[in-house]
């Protein structure tokens, strides 16, 4: 302070006004320098610690990012085919949704899973999925997509070599009744796009695994995640969500007939896909609406509450948007088994639709139970199916109509069991949700769409 004062005093008389203003602003300089000097000499230990820690964190981040980009795991897809000599070809193998196809595919997938899980590739193996079974002299030719997770540093040739070796060594010695002709095994790597395409074109496949956290309701339940219910569609009148629907092929949706009550002009309707209504993943115009010819807008018995929607252009199938499987007409979904219903419907009776897709786990209730006097007293016909809980609470609601009720089979493939149709309010005790029984209309769907 003293020195400063001296300087200041020294300039006062001899300097010009401009020089003076410059000197006046710089006159505190020496003191600042002194203070900084002291500060660096006496840097507090916590400051040093903070600086050291930040440097370490920054270094760790940089190293982490470098290793992530160099060595993170990536999915690799392969197409494996081989001849099974112990099985005779059955024409039912032509369709992926027949019991026969499901049965043999499951055997093959279990065998492949055992082969890879019991090998040094056990940590790399993710899944196998039979995409076709074709007739071949001497047996059935199986075409399978294999998915593995390799580090990006593993070269493609090495990974292919490892898989090929395991297939050749172990496929023939595996302990099932399937007999594989080793000389027919062929393995090709597929690029991500081709692998994705092959799997996305199979119905009812969910690409990631999702775990369920307890019992959920559409009413107040947990929201669905991207790709969890890829077959769920929203059908919209003048751009506003009206009903749910299910994707059954890239051109066709199935929904409830009552969604179109008095409004059958396809030009006013659009369909959107993806878990959010706004913004959707894809949007399509509607070309044609086929309401069941025996459905009536005026008779309120909810019979024949089924409709098909043909799109104006094909959906582009992705991991987040693709079809659900239709069950065979003869398939029986046993009572008390678990299903999921999904939709953007109201969270309470007479409530509004929501923007994020929701899901609820419900159980199939037998028609005998559902027709009891205190439940629906005989209103449930053979074309309908009840699902939910007699104690209420978990249910679909308004705005969920037309949407899917689905169940996974033992291969983890999802089938359309029902279509949300009606109910007495939502979630009331003894008033479970009533659905269109898809197996009952399976042949009708086939007659209109060829599916």
Using CB under 6 A as the criterion, which residues of the chain lie in contact with ligand ARG when the complex forms? 345, 395-401, 420, 422-423, 426, 433
CB distance 247 to 321 below 8 Å: yes
The C-alpha atoms of residue 233 and residue 342 are separated, in whole angstroms, by 10
Shortest separation between residue 433's beta carbon and ligand ARG, angstroms: 3
- Phi, psi (rounded to 5 degrees) for 448: -95, -30
Residue keyed to tokens 């610690």: 49
Of the pair 78, 441, the CB lying nearest ligand ARG is at 441
* Per-residue CA distances from 304 to 208, 214, 297, 299, 301 (Å): 35, 34, 11, 11, 9
CB distance 163 to 124 below 8 Å: no
The C-alpha atoms of residue 353 and residue 385 are separated, in whole angstroms, by 24
Shortest separation between residue 212's beta carbon and ligand ARG, angstroms: 20
Catalytic residues: 258, 305, 401
Q: Helix, strand or coil for residue 175?
A: coil
The C-alpha atoms of residue 31 and residue 137 are separated, in whole angstroms, by 98
Of the pair 207, 302, the CB lying nearest ligand ARG is at 302
Shortest separation between residue 350's beta carbon and ligand ARG, angstroms: 11
Among 397, 399, 365, 383, which Cα is nearest to 301's? 383
Shortest separation between residue 416's beta carbon and ligand ARG, angstroms: 16
Residue 238's Cβ-side half-sphere holds a number of Cα atoms within 13 Å equal to 1
Among 364, 350, 433, which Cα is nearest to 392's? 433
Shortest separation between residue 444's beta carbon and ligand ARG, angstroms: 21
CA angle 356, 250, 128 (to 5 degrees): 85
Of the pair 236, 249, the CB lying nearest ligand ARG is at 236
Of the pair 261, 294, the CB lying nearest ligand ARG is at 261
Question: In the complex, which residue's CB is closest to ligand ARG?
Answer: 423
Of the pair 200, 236, the CB lying nearest ligand ARG is at 236
């Amino acid at each position: 302070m003293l020195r400063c004062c001296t300087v200041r005093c020294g300039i006062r008389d001899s300097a010009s006004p401009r020089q003076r203003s410059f000197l006046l602003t710089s006159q505190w300089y020496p003191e600042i320098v002194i203070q900084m000097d002291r500060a660096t000499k006496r840097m507090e230990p916590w400051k040093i610690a903070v600086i050291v820690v930040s440097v370490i964190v920054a270094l760790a981040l940089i190293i982490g990012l470098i290793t992530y980009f160099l060595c993170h795991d990536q999915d690799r897809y392969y197409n494996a085919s081989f001849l099974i000599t112990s099985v005779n070809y059955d024409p039912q193998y032509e369709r992926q949704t027949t019991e026969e196809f499901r049965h043999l595919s499951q055997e093959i997938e279990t065998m492949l899973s055992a082969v890879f899980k019991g090998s040094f590739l056990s940590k790399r193996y993710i899944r196998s999925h039979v995409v076709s079974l074709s007739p071949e002299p001497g047996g059935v030719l199986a075409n399978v997509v294999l998915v593995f997770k390799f580090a990006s540093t593993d070269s493609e040739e090495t990974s292919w070599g490892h898989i090929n070796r395991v297939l050749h060594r172990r496929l023939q010695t595996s302990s099932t009744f399937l007999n594989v002709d080793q000389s027919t095994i062929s393995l090709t790597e597929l690029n991500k796009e081709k692998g994705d395409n092959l799997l996305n074109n199979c119905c009812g496949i969910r690409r990631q695994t999702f775990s369920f956290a307890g019992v959920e309701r559409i009413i107040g339940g947990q929201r669905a995640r991207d790709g969890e219910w890829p077959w769920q569609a929203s059908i919209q009148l003048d751009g506003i969500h009206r009903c749910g629907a299910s994707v059954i092929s890239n051109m066709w949706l199935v929904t409830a007939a009552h969604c179109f009550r008095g409004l059958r002009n396809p030009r006013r309707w659009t369909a959107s896909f993806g878990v959010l209504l706004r913004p959707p993943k894809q949007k399509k115009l509607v070309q044609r609406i086929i309401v069941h010819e025996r459905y009536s807008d005026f008779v309120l018995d909810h019979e024949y509450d089924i409709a098909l929607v043909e799109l104006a252009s094909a959906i582009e199938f992705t991991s987040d948007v693709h079809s659900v499987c239709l069950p065979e007409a003869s398939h029986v979904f046993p009572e008390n088994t678990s299903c999921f219903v999904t939709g953007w419907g109201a969270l309470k009776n007479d409530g509004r639709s929501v923007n994020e897709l929701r899901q609820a786990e419900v159980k199939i209730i037998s028609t005998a139970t559902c027709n009891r006097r205190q439940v629906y007293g005989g209103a449930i016909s053979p074309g309908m199916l009840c699902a939910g809980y007699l104690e209420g609470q978990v249910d679909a609601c308004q705005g969920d109509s037309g949407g899917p009720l689905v169940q996974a089979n033992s291969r983890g493939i999802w089938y359309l069991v029902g279509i949300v149709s009606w109910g007495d309010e939502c979630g009331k005790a003894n008033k479970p949700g009533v659905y269109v029984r898809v197996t009952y209309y399976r042949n009708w769907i086939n007659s209109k769409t060829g599916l």
